[in-house]
């Protein structure tokens, strides 16, 4: 997981994240964080709920999450004594999806997988960000080739608002050191070789030496393996 980072350097980085978030509120007004409940989300939730409460939070329950993820959501609410807004897919769209592709249709083709992500993630996401002028993400450059090219603040033409990524330059080591130093809750699946966690049927543990995203949609080509909420990646997926 890399070399240890000096704790005061880490707190300095955390303070820069705080500044960036405060600046995002100052510049964009209504700001929302789409909380993925991954390791990076623990860092951002801690900083936002402790220092920048003007930023709203939500999480999407696709209906296919691991039990461990629901347990984490509950732990977060207990620790911060806050209620996390949970957004669900539209029930009728979900019924239509299952009727047309089956309950596990996402395994059968990239098109079917993207349709599932559309109904279970993208449509709820669009509903949740309606009315906001900027959204926060926990993406980091080292997570994938597509994320390596991201900017800390970008105009998100897909959704029509600014996208702010304050952890872009954080390493995985730094994320985990922050989690441990602040004794933050995290998804226990991370202790079972799940570095990146999404829906249960589309996430598996990785083997030693595999990339951290090798456990997501492992049956697809690497360039299409994105969560569907990041336009550049989705275009790559659509062309694959
Ligand atoms: S990750 Fe899998 S189960 Fe979840 S929305 Fe996408 S295709 Fe569906």
pLDDT in tens, 58-97: 999 999 999 999 999 999 999 999 999 999 999 999 999 9
Residue closest by Cα to atom 1 of ligand 1: 199
Q: What is the pLDDT of residue 230?
A: 60
pLDDT above 70 coverage of the chain, percent: 90
Beta strands (DSSP E) in the chain are: 31-34, 56-60, 85-87, 134-136, 153-156, 161-164
Residue closest by Cα to atom 8 of ligand 1: 116
Ligand 1, atom nearest to 200 Cα: 3
Q: Among all chains, which residue has been given the structure tokens 């509120």? A: 25
| Widest CA span in the chain | 54
CA atoms within 13 Å, Cβ hemisphere of 184? 25
Contact 160 CB / ligand 1 (< 6 Å): no
Q: What residues in the chain have per-residue pLDDT under 50? A: 232-240
Q: What is the pLDDT of residue 240?
A: 21
- The backbone torsions φ and ψ at residue 134, rounded to the nearest 5 degrees and listed phi first, read -155, 150
The catalytic residue positions are 227
Q: What is the pLDDT of residue 227?
A: 58
Nearest CA-CA partner of 54 in 138, 128, 169, 132: 132
- Give the distance (Å) from ligand 1 centre to CA of residue 113: 6
Q: What does the alpha-carbon distance between residue 181 and residue 119 come to, in Å, rounded to a whole number?
A: 37
pTM (predicted TM-score): 0.89
Spelled out in words, what is the top-level CATH class assigned to the domain 7-90+125-239?
A: alpha beta
Q: What does the alpha-carbon distance between residue 235 and residue 120 come to, in Å, rounded to a whole number?
A: 18
To test the pocket of ligand 1, the residue of 62, 111, 217 to mutate (highest count of ligand atoms within 8 Å of its CB) is 62
């Amino acid at each position: 997981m890399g070399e240890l980072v000096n704790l005061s350097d880490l707190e300095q980085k955390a303070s820069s994240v705080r500044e960036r978030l405060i600046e995002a509120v100052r510049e964009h007004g209504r700001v929302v964080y789409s909380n993925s409940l991954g390791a990076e989300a623990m860092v951002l939730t801690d900083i936002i709920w402790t220092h920048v409460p003007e930023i709203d939070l939500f999480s999407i329950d696709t209906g296919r999450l691991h039990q461990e993820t629901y347990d984490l959501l509950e732990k977060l609410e207990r620790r911060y004594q806050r209620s996390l807004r949970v957004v669900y897919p539209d029930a009728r769209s979900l019924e239509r999806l299952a009727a047309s592709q089956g309950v596990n249709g996402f395994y059968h083709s990239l098109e079917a997988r993207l349709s599932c992500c559309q109904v279970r993630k993208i449509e709820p996401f669009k509903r949740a960000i309606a009315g906001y002028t900027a959204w926060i993400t926990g993406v980091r450059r080292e997570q994938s080739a597509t994320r390596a090219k991201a900017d800390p603040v970008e105009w998100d033409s897909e959704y029509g608002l600014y996208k702010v990524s304050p952890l872009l330059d954080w390493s995985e080591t730094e994320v985990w050191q922050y989690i441990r130093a602040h004794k933050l809750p995290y998804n226990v699946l991370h202790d079972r070789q799940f570095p990146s966690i999404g829906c249960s049927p589309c996430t598996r543990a990785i083997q030693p030496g595999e990339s951290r995203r090798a456990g997501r949609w492992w049956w697809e080509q690497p360039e299409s393996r994105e969560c569907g909420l990041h336009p550049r990646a989705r275009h790559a997926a659509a062309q694959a």
